[in-house]
Amino acid sequence: MAKPSSGTVNPHSRTGVRIVVAGDQGTGKSSLIITAAADNFPVNVPPVLPPTRLPEDLYPDRVPITIIDTSSRAEDSDKVAEELQRADTVVLTYACDRPETLENLSAFWLPHLRKLEVKVPVIVVGCKLDLRDENQQVSLEQVMSPIMQQFREIETCIECSACRHIQVPEVFYYAQKAVLHPTAPLFDQESQTLKPRCVRALKRIFILCDHDRDGALSDAELNDFQVKCFNAPLQPSEIVGVKKVVQEKMSEGVNDRGLTLTGFLFLHALFIEKGRLETTWTVLRKFGYNDDIKLADDLIPPVKRAPDQSVELTNEAIEFLKAIFDAFDGDRDGMLRPRELEELFSTAPESPWTGIPYEDAAEKNAFGGLSLDAFLSEWALMTLLNPTLSMENLIYIGYPGDPSSTIRVTRRRRLDRKKQHSDRNVLQCFVFGPRKAGKSALLNSFIGRPYSEGYNPTNEDRYGVNVVDVSMENKKYLVLREIPEDGVRKLLSNKESLASCDIAVFVHDRSDESSWRTSSELLVEIASHGEDTGFEVPCLIVAAKDDLDSFPMAIQESTRVSQDMGVEAPIPISVKLGDFNGLFRKIVTAAEHPHLSIPETEAGRSRKQYHRLINRSLMAVSVGAAVVVVGLAAYRVYSARKNASG
């Protein structure tokens, strides 16, 4: 594999690189900048230079460079801090003839950058190399090694002399290179290995280039790769040379079919070790990766939807995922174990299902494995919550078509209520209720977790997703979103908070009157919010802990609230006994008929009556006006006839 062509015109998304030069007073900052820009050492140097632009064609990448000089005066420290925070990369200078200025880098400047949260590459530059005491010659590596160990943000160290024109252009070449071809995302300097995200991206690229899927890049495939990335073919002798380099270091890097993934990764590690980071970056960028080694945003189609629309996977995407499931189910047990799932996502920057909200959202077996239904449920949840992430990961795992063909935007929920039917395949249910009502136990049972007597309060929203078979032909993905009692106020602070909700359930402990009271108050609060915002949702009441005796007057109270608000009577369940009374099917059925089970508050009822009254009044006025108009017309006809006969 060759280096990128030096004739390439700005292959980067960047339109320029902003380099800020800082350091102690008298370390040669301004002289360094003037010499780089004008190729002449200045006799008289101003205290601070204006922004300096280097010629665009000075370096191979042809990306414009702007150099910002900084003041060393204490009174200008705020302005210097502001410039440092706007930098793409920072050049820190010290004077080779003044050891205290080098010491001040680790004593002040580098900690100062961290304090300012300046997270860009740093180039350490020793200026005035010509003035160093010849009796105190120490290697740069020996001096800088302990500092670089402590401050990993240092990308490169270099010494120069503006007066003698020694290594001045190299300073800003390395500074630009640190921005355009940074080491940190690719390579771990301490372990001298490629970083995991880099390995995963290169693995995906290898698979995409292995057209015959035989696990090796043949000579023809290597050549195609070279042309795609560098616009130049490899000569047969060069291919032989590449393989020889790999084989001398590792026998498993090449086999009789060609260059293996191991060999491909070794080559990139070798390029980086030799300072040829631009080679690996060119490959990554040619395949659409950005500086974070993720697919660039413009490769993922934007998703436009109204607040009360949701996003689902298309049948085409689901069929692809079924095939992927089968391909990675190595032991053919109908489950994807954690190891198999990790292999499936090994070409993504990381597994998207690590951590909240996905890690514990689906049903798993005793070994942490996912069935096909659970696997597709996770995808359904991810597509509902973050369709962009879903499309991105479909690309990573090899979806071959247009990413926009993987998702569909559903009909607006407001229209569903008018049509009296929802055709969504993924339904979202908000689960409300007071503490200790049994919300978490309900979610746990829904995703196959065993019942536990212990109480673990839920402090953040939590999701559970599973398949619900309503009938032989009707299978839906149901997403339960548990909302802690303390989180209701925050939820309702957003006017559109109920727009994404297909149905809400209100859980209470049927043995505890205060639990019932809080749950019914939440029902009124949610119903009022829906009436006020226009995002009304069907609601069901769930009487949990049916294995316990109900509180006195429970039946009368629940009957009164149900009748007053126009919703079904509470559905009794016992998670402990495993008796759910068909709850999940009832939730899906109610969500499929969104015009029913919508609670009505007293204020909402009064508002509707008022609107009816207004409408009737307007109708009466309209009818009266029509009678007057008809009467006037009749009178004019009569008057005209009378005059004619006269």
> In the chain, what are the domain boundaries?
17-180, 193-298, 308-352+366-410, 414-601
The listed CATH number (3.40.50.300, 3.10.20.600, 1.10.1270.20, 3.30.470.10) that belongs to domain 17-180: 3.40.50.300
Left, alpha or beta for 234 (phi > 0: left; psi -120 to 50: alpha)? beta
Cα–Cα distance for residue pair 508/433, rounded to 1 Å? 6
Tally DSSP H helices, then E strands, for the chain: 22, 21
What pLDDT does 56 receive?
86
Cα–Cα distance for residue pair 541/562, rounded to 1 Å? 9
What pLDDT does 606 receive?
72
| Interval 148-169 mean pLDDT | 94
The residue that leads in pLDDT, 560 or 619, is: 560
What pLDDT does 604 receive?
75
Amino acid at 221: E
| Interval 73-85 mean pLDDT | 95
The listed CATH number (1.10.238.10, 3.10.580.10, 3.90.550.10, 3.40.50.1980) that belongs to domain 308-352+366-410: 1.10.238.10
Q: What would the CATH number be for the domain defined by 193-298?
A: 1.10.238.10
| Interval 238-242 mean pLDDT | 94
Which of 129-143, 443-457, 478-492 tops mean pLDDT?
A: 478-492
DSSP string, 365-383: -TTS-EEHHHHHHHHHHHH
What pLDDT does 168 receive?
96
The listed CATH number (3.40.50.300, 3.40.50.2300, 3.20.20.150, 2.40.50.100) that belongs to domain 414-601: 3.40.50.300
Orientation angle between helical segments 236-249 and 219-230, nearest 10 degrees: 110
Task: Evaluate whether 186 touches 194 at the Cβ level (below 8 Å).
Answer: yes
113-117, 195-199, 597-601: the lowest-pLDDT one = 597-601
Label residue 4 by pLDDT band (50, 70, 90): very low
Query: Which of 453, 468, 502, 435 shows the shortest CA–CA distance to 583?
Result: 468
57-66, 334-343, 401-410: the lowest-pLDDT one = 57-66
Express each pLDDT in 588-631 by its tens digit.
999 999 999 999 998 877 766 655 556 655 555 555 555 555 55
Helices (H), ranges, 346-504: 372-385, 387-396, 413-419, 439-446, 488-492
Query: Which of 158, 156, 181 shows the shortest CA–CA distance to 169?
Result: 158
Express each pLDDT in 259-304 by its tens digit.
999 999 999 999 998 889 999 999 999 999 999 999 999 999 999 9
The residue that leads in pLDDT, 643 or 66, is: 66
Question: CA 486: distance to chain centroid?
Answer: 27
Cα–Cα distance for residue pair 601/607, rounded to 1 Å? 10
Same CATH fold assignment for domains 193-298 and 308-352+366-410 = yes
